Structure 1
Amino acid sequence: MGLLSARAISSLQNPTVKAVRALHMRKERDETGLFVAEGLKNVIEGIDTGHAPRILMHGPDAAAHPMMRKAVQATQGSGGEVIEVTHDILAKVSRRENPQAVVGVFPQAFRPLEQVEPGPAQCVVALHRVRDPGNLGTIVRTADAAGCGGVILVGECCDPYSVEAVRATMGSIFAVPLTRATEAEFAAWRAGWAGSVVGTLLTAAASHAEAAYRKPALILMGNEQQGLTPEMAALPDLNVKIPMRGRADSLNLSVATGIMIYAATA
């Protein structure tokens, strides 16, 4: 057992290993309020933003990494557990043949809708019924890069704390405040928004690059297949279009959202 570890586990049947593996299922994440973040870099990102792991798993070779001591101290200092595990356990926990040497289990964090603030970039992103965890994770990462005040998930969305979404955030899952709301809750809250509420429509007259955005901007994006529903499309006071100059008639949701974030915060 490594010097930094409280204990070592080598059995795939260990209850803690089973519990961490189960966090791949949304039902288990919803019931426990926990999620898995892979890689020492992501674990440190969580710690640096005030999120200590409940469980820190690491392989035999990871104990020598200079940042491991920080991760261990933060975990143990908050009452969490540090466990040395085998490569096979790491592979099962992450469901990857070449797993990261460190895995952290963290509490989920959702911010109430009434506490949403635009942040330094004067921008918040709202996503209606986003379905693809890779898109969602990439949007969270882009919102972080632009300094946005948060991402609001409206209606039935995919889980931002799924392993796939967390991977796509590249650590930004810890930096960007997340909020969940029903369509009715969002519509009522949107009525008090001080700046522009911006939607994207193919029929819009204004280009995304030329529109007159009033900050703070609330960017509302629809899902990958249908875009905004008629009910949600009625909420923006400013609709814009991203011109399609080639043969493609649409953009990936995460790309389109990134374009809108930087247009609205320029």
Structure 2
Amino acid sequence: MSKLITSPSNPFIKRINSLHEKKFRVREGLFLAEGMRVVTEAVEAGVAPAYLIHGPDMGDHPVLKRLAEATEAAGGEVIETSADVLRKLSRKDNPQSVLGVFTEIGKSLADLDRNTSYVWIVCESLKDPGNLGTILRTADAVGAGGVILIDNSCDPYSVEAVRASMGALFTVPLVQAKWEEFQPWLRSGPGFLVGASLNTEHDYQAIDYPAPTFLFMGNEQSGLPEPYEQECDALVKIPMRGKADSLNVAIATAVIVYEVLNQTRRK
């Protein structure tokens, strides 16, 4: 049964609203996911919200009923609120009618089994949450083992990153680690590290990608640092026939990782 909270000044509403800021997400260990579709994908992936917040007149919606049952079965709480409060929580004039509050779901390197997939995506100092969300969607699409964020990448639990992932945050294992942790972990078992770089003549389609391949993508502006490139087993680049010298990092990731997929399919 839903608990009714309609006051914007309610302490619970203020607490949830604070999750738009990283320091409060870190303190609470919680993050926001907007929309019935995204929350449904989370529940179908076995991740139920700690709080399921919905607008008025939604009580009889069949999908919401299933989400509420899953939330309560996992020990979560269902909250009904007003349209005004939903606008406050979403910070949009036309908010979604459903909002989920989830516990952070990141894994550690020790949790990963590199042999469960032919390809993994590694990102270094990725700054744009939209790019991260798109990369997570791409990882889901190709069946990647997971996404590993190296060094000072953007917060994967920001509202922008969660929204851009379109639910992939809940289906793709995600790890945040320092290079000093990742490099020895990678070399402790099988793994072919391929860096995307302008400092090579190797076309991305001209090399073989053995399983498991770890596709290493650099920062949007500066690319991979030279010491990291030197640790790669191969460097590849995408040919550019126009005036631009590079692609958006999320698009470049998709182009290369689909080549890895296509080679695996042909084998």
Code of the residue aligned with 1:130 in structure 2: it is L
User: Does the alignment pair 1:27 with 2:23?
Assistant: yes
User: Among residues 196, 199, 207, which one is paired with 1:200 in the alignment?
Assistant: 196
User: Among residues 40, 50, 54, which one is paired with 1:44 in the alignment?
Assistant: 40
Distance 1:207 1:64 in 2: 55
In the TM superposition, 1:1-266 aligns within 5 A as 4-5=1-2, 7-118=3-114, 121-266=117-262
Q: Count the aligned residue pairs.
A: 262
RMSD over aligned CA atoms reads: 1.3
Distance 1:193 1:208 in 2: 24
Provide TM-score, normalisation by structure 1.
Answer: 0.95
Please state whether the residue corresponding to 2:59 is helix, strand or coil.
helix
**Superposition deviation, residue 62 in structure 1:** 2.4
Q: Deviations over 1:179-218 (max 9, x none)?
A: 0111111111122341321001213222111211111100
Distance 1:25 1:55 in 2: 18
The answer to which of 185-194 and 44-53 deviates more is 185-194
Distance 1:116 1:79 in 2: 27
Please state whether the residue corresponding to 1:126 is helix, strand or coil.
strand
The question of whether the paired residues in 2 share the 8 Å contact of 1:90 and 1:101 is answered with yes
Distance 2:48 2:55 in 1: 19
Q: Deviations over 1:75-134 (max 9, x none)?
A: 111121111111111111111111100000011111110222346651111110000000
The answer to which of 200-209 and 174-183 deviates more is 200-209
- Misfit runs of 4+, over 6 Å: none
Distance 1:197 1:211 in 2: 12
Task: Determine what percentage of the aligned residue pairs are the same residue.
Answer: 45
Distance 2:43 2:226 in 1: 42
Unmatched 5+ residue regions in structure 2?
263-267
Distance 1:61 1:245 in 2: 54
Please state whether the residue corresponding to 2:33 is helix, strand or coil.
strand
Unmatched 5+ residue regions in structure 1?
none
Provide TM-score, normalisation by structure 2.
Answer: 0.95
**Superposition deviation, residue 30 in structure 1:** 0.9
After superposition, the Cα gap between the structure-2 partners of 1:119 and 1:63, relative to the gap in structure 1 and judged at 3 Å, is farther
